Structure 1
Amino acid sequence: MTRPESFCAVYRIVGGQEIDADVYLPHPNQGNDAAGFPVVINIHGGAFMLGSSEMVNSDQVRDCLDRGWIVVAPNHRLCPQVDLWEGPIGDCRACLAWIYDGGLGDAISKETNAAAYRLDPDHVFAFGTSSGGTLALCLGFGVPRPVAGIYDMYGPCDFANAFWTSELPDVLAMLPSDLSEEFMKHVYLDDPAPIRGGVSLEGQHPGRPDFSDPRQAFAWSTIARGRVLETVYPGRDWDRVDPLRNVGLAFPPTFIVHGTKDKMVPIELSRRLYAALREHGVQCGMVEVAGEGHTFAARMEVESQTWRLQQLGFDFLERLLEKV
């Protein structure tokens, strides 16, 4: 099945660099005449160092469009040229502000009939997979106006956990024996920080990582050696960036989906997040998908059991619309 049509819109300019997003529109007749169109920000994965907006799951985008939602898939600057706070988090929060401040509506008006796509500002949701799940969660705190609901698929959290400094034997086994530090450091030569890079850890592009690409080699080596967080956020101020430490009474309704066999982001981290949400009385839910590892969103077949289970996250967001 072909990818849904989209158009590109610039949501932020930093130092002359344009940072953009892909915008997908449902049929104009699917809108709610009274409330307008809900919006879901769909954030790609890639360990904060890889990926792009083109690598989000097409079937999930289509599911959201079928529900009558506008989908915004932003790019963000990739680490390590910028750190997690300045780049991925800062850019995604700027995207949210752009939507609330009318930038998305203006962009849509240039592409189509503005009257046909009046936005519902009370129902801007965030969704993401892997590192995108973390960034979606970061739109629930530290912003003037959080999103109305969050769907997190196996996003990293609990950054002080010992797991984040542990080597991953399965990933180490993938690394070529002749990778040199000098070669991988070429990633730092990219200027400005790229907003698209290499393959996504979501596996939207088939095949193994291309270790002849310094960015891919650097990212996978960093993951394998348990150095992701110290690389993307050397400041280690976890209170600033860790969703688990920022759960409170005002946190938006949140749904989590995580595979029980995930070795790259252990399910126990999401269980701790879910427990914190419940402890603070946040409307929430969690589904554990038996037998699935990390990045399973890339391999789902529509109408499979895994597909139906992950759809519960979008169903959760849809129920938030019914409470108006």
Structure 2
Amino acid sequence: MSLEDPITVLYKEINGSKITTDLYLPTSSSAQKYPVVIDIHGGAFMLGHSRMVSLPQVNDCLMRGWIVLVPNHRLCPAVNLLEGPMQDIRDLLAWIHAGHLDKVLPAGYSADLEKIAAFGTSSGGTLALALGFDVPRPVAAILSLYGAVHFTDPAWKTPLQHVAAKLPSNLSDDFLNGVYDEYPVPTDSSVSLEGQTESGVSKGPDFSKPRDAFAFTRIASGKVIEAIYSSVEDPEMRRVDPVLNVGSGFPPTYIVHGMADTMVPIGLSRVLLERLKICGVRCGMTEVPGEEHTFAAMMEVGSKTWWLQREGFDFLERVIGKGPGF
């Protein structure tokens, strides 16, 4: 099986949304149980889909003998963060534990349910962290690459002028609100926050599409949280903010973050790290010099950045081990 041709299976259907996960397998099978790693795409909870992840990262996981699942989830804002993306990814974990993954695996492969880890980039990092709390069986380890956390920090209400400068001037509210008319709620968009498209080519958003325009106007105006999750019923964001849900039983967690990140400031991840340390959680963090947000999509294998971010995957390996025969 090539990286460009994964197995795709349906893991959830709700209100007309068919939600799938891509499945990548290590090359050798030994009829033993394999660790499972869930790789969650980024996109500010509003953009992207499962083919918009770093294939070199997927390949690194396969070379360690891990089964890799790359799921889709419903995209905000027609569903909110808690009831949409977070619930979908948690339902994927429940789907695995219920034995459904084993039913779709080829002969010779089975999942080690004691060795499930999760990682993700940007919003995907947040969703990976959400598998460490408010779930019956948390994952064994988590890696967050510049994940969005600490939602009450003023940074989340700060306009981003460098994003605003790229917006066209003729985006009306009626046009932008067309994103709420999409039915069923989509699980994919044409472009990710990292600039990838379905073909893998890097380019900017298409502002003729309400979803692209809506997402980037909210990012530019400092209104992402307002768009994806109402704080009226949860003013302190306690149900969705990983920082507020770390406790002594939280899974071992590693963080990788670019030091030049202007979209999710590195200080937010430092707050998460400090909370993990206070609670006695096995943890660590790699700060990558000079890297902006979404660097995982553009890094070169073998570069300094590649080796630094790989420290997060080494951490996962120390917790869940390699697959049999690797």
The verdict on a shared fold, with TM-score over 0.5 as the criterion, is yes
Q: Trace 1:151-190 onto structure 2 (pairs within 5 A).
A: 151-190=143-182
Establish whether residue 91 from structure 1 lines up as the match of residue 88 from structure 2. Answer: yes
The 8 Å contact of residues 41 and 124 in structure 2, kept in 1 or not, is answered as yes
For the residue of structure 2 that corresponds to 1:175, the secondary structure is: coil
Matching of residue 198 in structure 1 with residue 190 in structure 2: yes
Residue 28 of structure 1: CA displacement? 3.2
Query: What is the alpha-carbon distance in structure 2 between the residues aligned to residue 120 and residue 32 of structure 1?
Result: 12
Which of the numbers 112, 116, 120 marks the counterpart of 1:128?
120
Residue number in structure 1 paired with 2:130: 138
Between the two proteins, the alignment pairs up a number of residues equal to 314
Residue in 1 that maps onto 2:273: 274
Q: CA deviation at 1:235?
A: 3.4
Q: Which residue of structure 2 aligns with residue 211 of structure 1? A: 207
Secondary structure of 1:28's counterpart equals coil
SS of the residue 1:159 aligns to: coil
Q: Distance in 1 between matches of 2:262 and 2:162?
A: 9
Superposition map of 1:230-269 within 5 A:
230-235=226-231, 237=234, 238-269=237-268
How far did 1:322 drift? 4.6
For residue 207 of structure 1, report the CA deviation from its aligned partner: 1.4
Deviations 1:177-220 (A, max 9, x none): 11211111111110111000131112233111111111000000
Secondary structure of the structure 2 residue equivalent to 1:239: coil
Counterpart secondary structure, 1:39 = strand
2:17, 2:74 within 8 Å by CA — same for their partners in 1? no
> Does the 8 Å contact 1:244/1:276 carry over to 2?
yes
- Please say if residues 4 and 24 of structure 1, whose CA atoms lie closer than 8 Å, have aligned partners that are also in contact: no
Higher relative contact order (CA 8 A, sep 6+): 2
Structure 2 counterpart SS, 1:240: coil
CA distance in 1, matches of 2:320, 2:270: 26
Match of 1:47, SS? coil
Aligned to 1:68, what secondary structure does the other structure show? coil
The residue that corresponds to 2:225 in the other structure is: 229
> If the length of structure 2 is used for normalisation, what is the TM-score?
0.94
Deviation at 1:119, TM superposition (A): 1.2
SS at match of 1:198: coil
Q: Quote the offset at 1:128 in angstroms.
A: 0.3
Which residue is equivalent to 2:316? 317
Contact 1:53 1:74 in 2 (8 A): yes
State the partner residue of 1:300: 299
Identity rate, percent: 54
Which of 99, 106, 109 matches 1:102? Answer: 99
- In the other structure, the counterpart of 1:27 is 27
Structure number with higher helix proportion: 1
> Which of the numbers 45, 48, 51 marks the counterpart of 2:45?
48
Distance of 1:38 and 1:204 partners within structure 2 = 28
Distance in 1 of aligned mates of 2:190 and 2:167: 16
Classify 1:286/1:70 alpha carbon distance in 2 versus 1 (closer, same or farther; 3 Å): same
Please say if residues 140 and 146 of structure 1, whose CA atoms lie closer than 8 Å, have aligned partners that are also in contact: yes
Q: TM-score, normalised by structure 1?
A: 0.94
Unaligned runs of 5+ in 2: none
Superposed structure 1 runs of 4+ greater than 2 Å apart: 2-5, 202-205
